[in-house]
Amino acid sequence: MLQFLIRRLIGAFVIMFLIGAFTFFLFYTIPQDFAQLSCGKNCSPENIAVIRENLGLDKPITTQFWEFMSGIVLGRDFPVGHCSAPCLGVSFQSGEFVWDSIVDSFPLTLSLTIGGLVIFLVLGLGAGLLAAWKRGTAVDKAVSGASMVLSSFQIYFLGPIVLGIFVYSTGWMESPSYVPITEDPVGWFMGMLIPWAVMATIFTAQYTRMARSTMIEQLSEEHVRTARAKGMKQRYVFFRYAWRGSLIPIVTIIGMDLSALLSGAVVTEFTFDLAGLGRLSVDSSLGKDIPVTMGVMLFGAFFILMLNIIVDIAYAYIDPRVRLS
């Protein structure tokens, strides 16, 4: 297991280095004066020259690349102060360190993602298992039909409807907002409840269909039929043999959905007017704030790689044959 994990970590490090190099040269080799972007339109040539020197843009591209990559690991010095590792540069617009902006925005996105994930996993997998257990009955048809309808919804469609009914028309709930859980756990929960509910409605339908189909497929496998032939109880066979075999495709989708939500919850945050990592990425792109855009891209890539490693570890525990691959 340790060798399996070491191989995955080495591969992730190499991929992360290549992503960092590609991102740097993608942005810093385009014909654009970043000092002009940082200074604004009405900026004198003298100020532009000072900014170019402060940002290190007057140095050769190879030196800039080395300082950028080494700053992520070791930190970096700027005229505004020392940028501790992981240093992703200084924002053109705010003048703040990019990492500080990401750290300020990430808790909201993390809360939004983890809370929604817990809800739609519990509901989706539970409904899918129930439909598979009651296959062919009225319960199965009702669950399958509901999942087909709900899976066609989108956050930008369902979100305004929920806000219109529960916030603006009836006033039963307050508008979504973010309060750190360490400051006010109840306020944190109530502020995230509507986005969680909308996300859970859409994703629950997808996981219900997947859990049902994978469970039905596993129930027809030879080892499950053999367990039944030995006289084992239906419930034991269902959860001990079929459930474990159905987890691999489900874990794959969980990793993909969680990566996408963490690295860019743009639609959800804009729908509910929340200032998280997705909103930061869009604002930096529209404002041509290259360091922040690069930082968010690298941060998202890092999380996707880490989640892929976690998924690989989960594979290894679910199916021991994966450890030997």
pLDDT at residue number 319: 65
288 and 247 in a common domain: yes
- pLDDT tens readout for residues 102-159: 999 889 988 888 888 888 888 888 888 888 888 888 888 898 888 888 878 888 888 8
Same domain, 317 and 178: yes
Residue 260 has a pLDDT of: 65
Same domain, 76 and 114: no
Distance CA 111, CA 134 (A): 34
Q: Clarify whether residues 267 and 150 are in a common domain.
A: yes
Q: Where are the alpha helices (DSSP H) in the chain?
A: 2-28, 34-39, 45-54, 61-74, 98-133, 138-150, 155-163, 185-219, 222-229, 234-237, 243-263, 266-271, 277-286, 290-318
Same domain, 309 and 273: yes
Give bridge partners of residue 97 from the DSSP assignment.
Answer: 90
For residue 86, the model assigns a pLDDT of 87
Non-local CB neighbours of 36 within 8 Å, separated by 6+ positions: 43, 48
Q: Kindly state whether residues 232 and 261 are assigned to the same domain.
A: yes
Residues 72 and 150 in one domain: no
* Residue 31: predicted pLDDT: 64
58 and 119: one domain?
no
- How far apart are alpha carbons 119 and 216 in whole angstroms? 23
pLDDT of residue 267: 80
Whether 182 maps to a domain, the answer reads yes
| Number of domains observed in the structure of the chain | 2
Quote the pTM value. Answer: 0.81
We report the CATH number of the domain holding residue 254 as 1.10.3720.10
Choose one of 87, 120, 153: the last residue of a domain.
Answer: 87
Helix (H, G, I), strand (E, B) or coil at 181: coil
189 and 238, same structural domain?
yes
pLDDT per position in the chain (325 positions), as tens? 677 778 878 888 898 889 888 888 877 766 666 666 666 666 777 777 777 776 677 778 888 888 888 888 888 887 777 888 888 888 877 778 899 999 998 899 888 888 888 888 888 888 888 888 888 888 888 988 888 888 788 888 888 999 999 988 888 888 899 998 888 999 999 999 999 888 888 888 888 888 888 888 877 777 777 777 777 777 777 777 777 777 777 777 777 777 766 654 678 888 888 888 888 888 888 877 888 888 888 888 888 888 888 877 777 776 665 554 5
Q: Which of 231, 227, 253 is nearest to 240 (CA)?
A: 227
Which residues span the domain enclosing 80?
33-87
Rounded Cα gap, residues 292 and 297, in angstroms? 9
Task: Burial-class residue 30 by CB neighbours within 10 Å (0-12, 13-18, 19+).
Answer: exposed
Residues 212 and 70 in one domain: no
In 151-184, alpha helices (H): 155-163
C-alpha distances out from residue 38 to 53, 57, 181, Å: 12, 12, 35
- In terms of Cα–Cα distance, which of 312, 308, 310 is closest to 16? 308
Tokens for 101, please give them.
């902006």
Instruction: Based on the fold, state whether residues 49 and 196 are members of the same structural domain.
Output: no
- Residues 128, 80 within the same domain: no
Q: What is the pLDDT of residue 252?
A: 76
pLDDT number for residue 32? 66
